[in-house]
């Protein structure tokens, strides 16, 4: 980091770390998640859906952990079950006699590596665990098994509207049951607006979003702010943005800039985000070169935006006025970029111009561009 407080992207070769730096319990101080020292903590997630399954099948997960750490991750998003055909035997607690003991061993292995993990408890539960009483028992045993593990956060369900027989309502109720066991808890529900619940009962500790898979998906980082503002400042994580793959498709992107823009915006509007990719979905290592390049862009961009930025005043470009919303430090034009977002701390401002065609940003109102370390990333100062 330079004296001005920003990172230069891709200017140094970093040796892959063998251990991460995560340690200690987390707590929510809305809209932030804070570490045990009271500092704003940053979620730097990596989708690793089948990593627990690999461990249960006797695979040494060490190479996976080393690669994810080297890319910049501090949280792995891991499934507790799934009904995919590639899993033989099926990834179900019923099919592994030592499931819960190995779940504890898995948590301890990641803790030794200085990594946290988000355990998504239910996925394809309508197939793997259709009985409601069995789901209740599984959640209870998971919570008991992981008791005291500082490195665990709980997401009840992946897309519960299609992965839980009881849908979003069941996910919310199970999240409430899971609270108070020493873990930060999310329901996984994100489809209602405003975000449920609206009955006055306590909300889960944090929320997780899955953004639309559209051409302009990077600007959907602002969904985190919109949901935070409508849910009593509950922190929201961009937990499943557009996925990355070696070849582009309607649901997969290959442009590192798009991943960088989304990640930086996610730190502006929330505690962070999760990098989602094909090789992570299937827990393969090493991941492909395109996915690795996009992951590095994603994690570098998370680092560039200060962790406390989610607490600062927000500005947005608007075609209705030069100043936009909140008196922008830079000019915005809908014809040149899909969105311009800034977070400002006194005489310093961090801005992203998402999907911009500009060679350089145009400052305004006395601001001076200090650095543009990557396309569409602008650090400015003003006396």
Encode pLDDT of 121-140 as tens digits.
999 999 999 999 999 999 99
Encode pLDDT of 1-46 as tens digits.
333 344 445 444 445 567 899 999 999 999 999 999 999 999 999 9
Contact 342, 359 (CB under 8 A): no
Cβ within 8 Å of residue 129, ≥6 positions away: 81, 92, 93, 122, 135, 138
Contact 82, 128 (CB under 8 A): yes
The confidence score (pLDDT) of residue 368 equals 98
The confidence score (pLDDT) of residue 16 equals 58
The confidence score (pLDDT) of residue 9 equals 52
- Go through the chain and tell me how many residues it has: 383
Give, rounded to a whole angstrom, the gap between the first and last alpha carbons of the chain. Answer: 21
Contact 55, 99 (CB under 8 A): no
Sequential pLDDT tens for the chain (383 residues):
333 344 445 444 445 567 899 999 999 999 999 999 999 999 999 999 999 999 999 999 999 999 999 999 999 999 999 999 999 999 999 999 999 999 999 999 999 999 999 999 999 999 999 999 999 999 999 999 999 999 999 999 999 999 999 999 999 999 999 999 999 999 999 988 777 777 777 789 999 999 999 999 999 999 999 999 998 999 999 999 999 999 999 999 999 999 999 999 999 999 999 999 999 999 999 999 999 999 999 999 999 999 999 999 999 999 889 999 999 999 999 999 999 999 999 999 999 999 999 999 999 999 999 999 999 999 999 99
The confidence score (pLDDT) of residue 192 equals 82
The confidence score (pLDDT) of residue 17 equals 64
The domains of the chain, with CATH numbers, are 27-311 (3.20.20.80), 314-381 (no CATH)
122 preceded by cis ω (within 30°)? no
d(CA 173, CA 178): 9
The confidence score (pLDDT) of residue 201 equals 78
């Amino acid at each position: 980091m330079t004296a001005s407080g920003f990172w230069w992207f891709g200017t140094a070769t970093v040796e892959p770390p063998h251990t991460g730096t995560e340690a200690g319990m987390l707590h929510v101080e809305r809209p932030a998640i804070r570490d045990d020292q009271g500092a704003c903590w940053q979620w730097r997630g990596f989708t690793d859906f089948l990593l627990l399954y690999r461990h249960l099948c006797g695979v040494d997960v060490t190479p996976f952990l080393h690669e994810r750490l080297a890319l910049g991750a501090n949280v792995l998003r891991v499934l507790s079950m799934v009904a995919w055909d590639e899993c033989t035997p099926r990834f179900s607690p019923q099919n592994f006699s030592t499931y819960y003991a190995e779940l504890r061993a898995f948590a301890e292995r990641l803790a030794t590596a200085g990594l946290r993990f988000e355990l998504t408890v239910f996925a394809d539960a309508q197939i793997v665990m259709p009985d409601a009483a069995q789901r209740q028992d599984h959640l209870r045993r998971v919570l008991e098994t992981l008791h005291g593990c500082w490195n665990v956060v709980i997401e009840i369900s992946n897309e519960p509207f299609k992965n839980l027989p009881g849908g979003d309502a069941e996910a919310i109720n199970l999240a409430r049951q899971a609270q108070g066991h020493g873990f930060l808890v999310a329901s996984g529900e994100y489809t209602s607006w405003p975000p449920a619940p609206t009955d006055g009962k306590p909300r889960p500790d944090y929320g997780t979003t899955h953004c639309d898979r559209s051409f302009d998906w990077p600007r959907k980082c602002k969904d985190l702010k919109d949901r935070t503002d409508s849910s009593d400042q509950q922190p929201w994580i961009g937990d499943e943005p557009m996925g990355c793959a070696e070849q582009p498709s309607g649901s997969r992107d290959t442009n590192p800039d798009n991943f960088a823009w989304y990640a930086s915006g996610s730190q502006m509007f929330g505690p962070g985000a999760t990098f989602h990719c094909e090789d992570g979905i299937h827990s393969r290592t090493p991941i492909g070169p395109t996915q690795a390049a996009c992951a590095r862009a994603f994690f570098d961009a998370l680092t560039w935006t200060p962790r406390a930025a989610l607490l600062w005043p927000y500005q947005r470009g608007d075609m209705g006025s030069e100043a936009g919303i909140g008196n922008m430090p830079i000019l915005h034009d809908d014809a040149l970029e899909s969105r311009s977002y800034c977070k400002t701390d006194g005489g310093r401002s961090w801005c992203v111009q998402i999907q911009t065609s500009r060679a350089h940003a145009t400052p305004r109102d006395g601001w001076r561009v200090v650095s543009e370390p990557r396309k569409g990333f602008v650090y400015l100062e003003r006396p």
